[in-house]
Amino acid sequence: MKFGVITFPGSNCDDDCLYVINKVFGIEAERIWHKNDNPLGDFDCIILPGGFSYGDYLRPGGIAKLSPVIKRVKEFASSGGLVIGICNGFQILTESGLLDGVLIRNKSLNFICKNVYLKVENRETPFTIKCKEVIKIPIAHKDGCFYCDNTTLDKLQKNNQIIFRYSNESGEVDNRFNPNGSLYSIAGICNRDKNVLGMMPHPERCSEEILGNIDGKMIFQSIIDSLSKC
């Protein structure tokens, strides 16, 4: 089993993802530079990490989607490979068309960094089979407000593509618990085939006991267990 972690100029959570896969789980993970134009067939899962990508000052992910590696990620995903985009990675996935919708400036117009609760709406995906009904994950973003038109929202609901929604500790979804104004309190979605996930919160930042929270570990464990069954 092998993970690939894509690095863009400005990425700052790529090392965190590499550490979690390599050190916490003891599984091989390799850094992939954004100009890589080689097929990704040697990998089982690709991670687009959080942080920043070049050109974010124009629109988060709007320039990164043009990097050669994104063409390869699309090929990888179309062949059934697992892809997870975290924070800026989620932005890149929507900008590149691998996921629906768009991530825009937080309703408050402020950068938000805190722990939030997520209701796991679909626990039958390769990314959530080991998750509890409600998990606590940190967020750190300024452009994390998910938006789409009503037709797209209806499609996401109908196809069970809404994976995470902001909630309270009991799993109650309400705008009071929505930190950034996301439509329908959406914190993460997947594609129709359920092999591409984008999420705004950072599971790699809560995957060790020393950090005081290991709920993020469930997401990586779900991916590993799903790949082990293939």
Average pLDDT (165-179) is 97
Q: Does the pLDDT value for residue 47 go beyond 80?
A: yes
> What structural domains and CATH numbers belong to the chain?
2-228 (3.40.50.880)
Q: What is the DSSP string of the chain?
A: -EEEEEE-TTB-SHHHHHHIIIIIS--EEEEEETT--S--TT-SEEEE-SB--TTTTTSTTTTGGGSHHHHHHHHHHHTT-EEEEETHHHHHHHHTTSSSSEEE--TTSS-EEEEEEEEES--SSTTTTT--SEEEEEEEESS-EEE--HHHHHHHHHTT-EEEEEE-TT----GGG-SS--GGGEEEEE-TTS-EEEESS-GGGS-BGGGTB-TTHHHHHHHHHHHHT-
pLDDT tens-digit map of 13-34: 999 999 999 999 999 999 999 9
Q: Is the pLDDT of residue 57 over 90?
A: no
Instruction: Give the residue numbers annotated as catalytic, written as ranges.
Output: 87, 202, 204
Residue 58 or residue 132, greater confidence: 132
pLDDT tens column, 88-135: 999 999 999 999 999 999 999 999 999 999 999 999 999 999 999 999
- For residue 42, pLDDT over 90 is answered with yes
What confidence score (pLDDT) does residue 125 get?
A: 98
